[in-house]
Structure 1
Amino acid sequence: MRITYKFRLYPSKEQEQKLLEVLEKCRFVYNKLLEKLEQDKPSRLELQNSIPKLKEEHQELKEVYSKVLQYESYRLFSNLRALARLKKNGRKVGRLRFKGKSWFKTIHFNQSGFKLIKTGKRCERLHLSKIGDIKIRIHRKIKGKIKQVIIKRYSSGKWYACIQVENNVQAENAKNKLIEKKVGIDVGIKHFLTDSDGLQIENPKYLDKSYKRLRIEHRKLSRKEKESKNREKQRIRLSIVYERVVNQRLDFLHKLSRYYVDNYDFIAVEELDIKNMVRSYLAKWISDVSWNRFIQFLSYKAENAGKIVVKVNPRGTSKEYKFGKLDKDYNASLNILVRGLDKVGMGQAEFTPLETEPLPVRASSVVELGSSFR
């Protein structure tokens, strides 16, 4: 099983300059490979074998670890496969474009070219071939054999290492486990979710809370002269605000999904078509609430823990009143649970709907207390 850990990097000015140079050289190789692909139509193997010749023509490419440059061939064909899938699904697609300056944000070290060095201090060291030993904050234990390290630069200027490991520990088999606790979850905009046990989590609305600050930073950016140093500084300030919103949202989703995986054996959720939903006037709020990301987190954590997550058709869940006159969202969560159990052939759940209103829980409680907020 593959697991990815994300840790903050603290490169020195010299190391950061090297990282930026590697990103630029990767962009150069990608564009050269795309040019060759359009002209000669080579196979993937032929294209990858052309990289050594490219290094002979441009000696500065020898300063980059070989497997980092080889990955650009994989990236190119991966992008082509993505376009083919979109076209197959009926989407109108164009062609791959040459990448402009600052487009590349990631450096891939696959299988080799990296090493974690323990120092016993607050920050360990991550050795990257032809770059050096960079400070890295390991805030959690890495379990498994490291297979790949992806160095990522964010728009705010921060650097992170995404470490992918192969974990020999197999996920528990959900089929062999006794299913005792079951829950149905209905998601919404006013309330992030309402479950069949009567728990109702408010929508944190992180984007709305930062809206005033974002307007100010956007206004400042629009007044800066293009391509000036002051404009670049302001762009970073704006990126920091956006990054904070994303981090708040991810923290909330991780803690909430962890709560349900820790406390339930069977979880039924709606199978939502987010792409069509964001075409409505509610697009801004739907994108901010991130239901799909929550369900993704719920699914992979449940798989690792040997729990069951079932997706059901959301059509009509709020309109079917099988349990009497109840809160609309609470009623929907009960219907989702029933549909989920029917889908896996477990029959209807034996439960008595709450006679009281659902229990509201503030989003801040989820963040502060984690999976023990209830």
Structure 2
Amino acid sequence: MILTYEYRIKPNSNQAQSFEQWLELLRRHWNYALGQRLDWLRRTRCAIDRCNLISEPIGEITEQVNYYTQQSDLKQTKILFPDYKNIYCEVQQMNLQRLDKAWKRWLIPDKKGKRGGRPRFKKAGQLRSFSFSRVNHPKAVIKFSSNCIWTKKWGAIPVVVHRPIPDGFKLKTATIVKKADGYYVCLTAEDDNIPNIIPIENIKSAVGIDVGLKEFLTTSKGETVAVKKIYLTLQNHLARQQRKLARKVKGSKNYDKQQKRIALTHQKIQRHRKDWHYKTAHLLVNNYDFIACEDLNIKGLARTKLAKSILDVAWGNFLIKLEAVAVKRGVWFVKVSPHGTTVNCSSCGHKVPKTLSVRLHECPRCNLTMDRDENAAVNVLNKALQMHGVGLILSACGGLVDGQPVKQETSEKEYVQLSLF
């Protein structure tokens, strides 16, 4: 299992100036290396026995540019530009590895046939982090103790360790990140022990969740979590700050100060949302052994008129955090197809079409009446339980036996219980 711990660091003025210089030099190196790759791609986009009808560069075709060729050129870079001698070689290599990953994501599709966007040239200030490949290794250039990090070039830098790293975890990499309110170090720790997931026969409680905008989420037991409109609450303040920025002279000190105020506002929104997501995720994991949710196409939903509200609640980020917390705690986390979960009746399976404005599910066949989000959450739970064959006794309406019973009519006017075993 790999975990990342983020701690704030407090460098002095000389150390902070060194960070700024490194980030700027690494940004220039990123742009030069990316330009090499794009130039090689432009020169080799056509076969050697034919030419492009629009334009074709004339000149010698260089060898293929990749990570290994660019890594071997680092010695020549330090000769031509002596400032790069102050940067550790492994930091420059990690910078090239990051570019290589972005390049491959653009050219090579993944298992689903999707590709990432083309890597971009970075403007001044856009490269905001650099990494070390080893920590506390005998040959590592950076060391981490209980309350500081140390390198030969910087000396000791105080670290605010608000949460200790668990015993048994071995530090692997370190990344220095520049944020709106200062510098942080992200330490990646690895442990060979993986939390064992709860055996199917030991699952005692299960829940399905349905995310929405009226309520952030609704569980199959009728519990709800209210929506926090974090961005929508601060958008007017943010708009005023951005109008002030537009009236400043670009590049002036007042422009930079106003730009920092806007960055701090965005950081406040991000941290508030992150804290809310993690608290909600831990609340679910503490109470249930089996959690089921919908595998939503959030990018598609964000193209609708409700895009701002959907992006504000950030369903995708929440589900990622919920899955990470569940895996860490050994709790089942299952995603199911959202097809039919809102329309189908959780009691009899009859399709009841409804528009988004209709908030109540009323089935004409079995006379079931309940909140539409709770009905969808029950359907999500039923799908997940059937998919994995969990041995929980379900009522005919799809809910757990200890939940609220719902009547279903049968030919003999009896109530039945279904068992997946």
TM tier relative to shorter chain: 0.7 to 0.9
Check 1:92–1:45 CA distance in 2 against 1; reply closer, same or farther (3 A cut): closer
Tell me which amino acid in the other structure corresponds to 2:93: Q
Taking the aligned partners of 2:273 and 2:405, their CA distance within structure 1 comes to 32
Runs of 4+ in 1 over 6 A off after TM superposition: 87-94
Residue 271 (1) aligns with residue 303 (2):
no
Tell me, yes or no, if structure 1 residue 183 matches structure 2 residue 207. Answer: yes
Q: Could you tell which deviates more after superposition, 162-171 or 260-269?
A: 162-171
From the superposition, tell whether residues 211 and 341 of structure 1 become closer, same or farther in structure 2 (CA, over 3 Å): same
In structure 2, the residue matched to 1:14 is 14
Cα drift, residue 49 of structure 1: 1.2
Which residue of structure 2 lines up, in the alignment, with residue 338 of structure 1? 382
Cα distance in structure 2, aligned partners of 1:172 and 1:288 = 34
Count of residue pairs the alignment pairs up: 350
Counterpart check, 1:62 vs 2:107: no
Contact 1:182–1:266 (CA under 8 A) maintained in structure 2: yes
Q: Distance in 2 between matches of 1:88 and 1:173?
A: 26
1:73 deviates by: 1.7
Aligned partners of 1:355 and 1:176: how far apart in 2?
A: 24
Distance in 2 (alpha carbons) for counterparts of 1:153 and 1:25: 15
- Distance in 2, matches of 1:191 and 1:176, equals 30
1:254 Cα offset (Å): 0.6
Task: Confirm or deny: 8 A CA contact 1:65 1:130 kept in the other structure.
Answer: no
SS at match of 1:162: strand
* 1:196 corresponds to: 220
Change (3 A) 1:266 1:88: closer
Higher mean alpha-carbon deviation, 168-177 vs 262-271, is at: 168-177
Is the CA contact 2:291–2:333 (under 8 Å) kept in the aligned structure 1? yes
How far has the Cα of 1:84 moved from its partner? Answer: 2.2
1:107 aligns with 2:152: no
Q: What secondary structure does 2:394 align onto? A: coil
Structure 2 vs 1, CA of residues 227 and 202 (structure 1 numbering), >3 Å: closer, same or farther? same
Q: Distance in 2 between the 1:127 and 1:177 partners? A: 49
| Structure possessing the higher relative contact order (Cα contacts under 8 Å, 6 or more residues apart) | 1
Q: Once structures 1 and 2 are overlaid, which stretch shifts more, 269-278 or 94-103?
A: 94-103
Kindly, what percent of the aligned residue pairs are identical?
A: 31
Is structure 2 residue 145 aligned with structure 1 residue 145? no
How big is the shift at 1:85? Answer: 4.6
- 1:158-169 to 2 correspondences below 5 Å: 158-169=182-193
Contact 2:105–2:116 under 8 Å retained in 1: no
The structure 2 residue matched to 1:300, chosen from 324, 328, 334, is: 324
Q: Deviations over 1:71-94 (max 9, x none)?
A: 122112111112125699677987
Distance in 2 between the 1:342 and 1:22 partners? 55
- 2:74 maps to what in 1? 51
- TM-score by structure 1 length? 0.87
**CA drift at 1:14:** 1.4
The equivalent residue for 1:42 is 65
Native 8 Å contact 1:19 1:131 kept in 2: no
Instruction: Tell me if structure 1 keeps the 8 A contact 2:66–2:100.
Output: no
Change (3 A) 1:100 1:129: farther
Quick check: 2:346–2:376 contact (8 Å CA) kept in 1?
A: no
Q: C-alpha separation between the residues in 1 aligned to 2:18 and 2:273?
A: 32
SS of the aligned residue for 1:149 comes to strand
Letter in 1 for 2:265: V
Match of residue 238 from structure 2: 214
Q: 1:102 to 1:86 in 2, by over 3 A?
A: farther
Q: 8 Å contact 2:91–2:131 — kept in the other structure?
A: yes
Out of 125, 134, 137, the residue aligned to residue 157 of structure 2 is: 134
Residues 16 and 255 (structure 1 numbering): CA distance in 2 closer, same or farther, change over 3 Å? same
CA contact (8 A) 1:267 1:309 kept: yes
Q: Which has the larger radius of gyration?
A: 2
Q: 1:82 aligns with which of 105, 127, 136?
A: 105
**What is residue 116 of structure 1 aligned with on the other side?**
144
- CA 1:48–1:158 in 2, change beyond 3 Å: closer, same or farther? same
Q: Deviations over 1:10-50 (max 9, x none)?
A: 22221111101011111122223223333432332222111
> CA-to-partner distance for each residue in 1:132-183, whole Å, 9 max, x for gaps?
32221100111211100111112x2421111101123321133376111100
For residues 136 and 275 of structure 1, what CA distance do their matches in structure 2 show?
38
- Once the two structures are TM-superposed, the CA of residue 113 in structure 1 deviates from its matched residue by 2.3
Aligned to 1:25: 25
Matched residue SS, 1:146: strand
- Tell me if structure 2 keeps the 8 A contact 1:2–1:167: yes
For structure 1, which runs of at least 5 residues remain unmatched after alignment?
119-123, 357-374
In 1, the alpha carbon distance for the partners of 2:339 and 2:85 equals 57
Q: Is the 8 A contact 1:341 1:349 kept in 2?
A: no
1:131 aligned partner, one-letter code: W
**C-alpha distance in 2 between matches for 1:183 and 1:229:** 54
Instruction: Provide the residue aligned with 1:354 in structure 2.
Output: 404
Question: Cα–Cα, structure 1 residues 77 and 291, in superposed 2: closer, same or farther, change >3 Å?
Answer: same
Alignment of 1:170 with 2:220, yes or no, is no
TM-aligned CA deviation for residue 322 of structure 1: 2.7
Task: Report the TM-score, using the length of structure 2 for normalisation.
Answer: 0.78
Unaligned runs of 5+ in 2: 41-61, 135-139, 348-367, 407-421
Alpha-carbon RMSD: 2.2
Task: Report SS of the residue matched to 1:160.
Answer: strand
What SS does the corresponding residue of 2:342 show, helix, strand or coil? coil
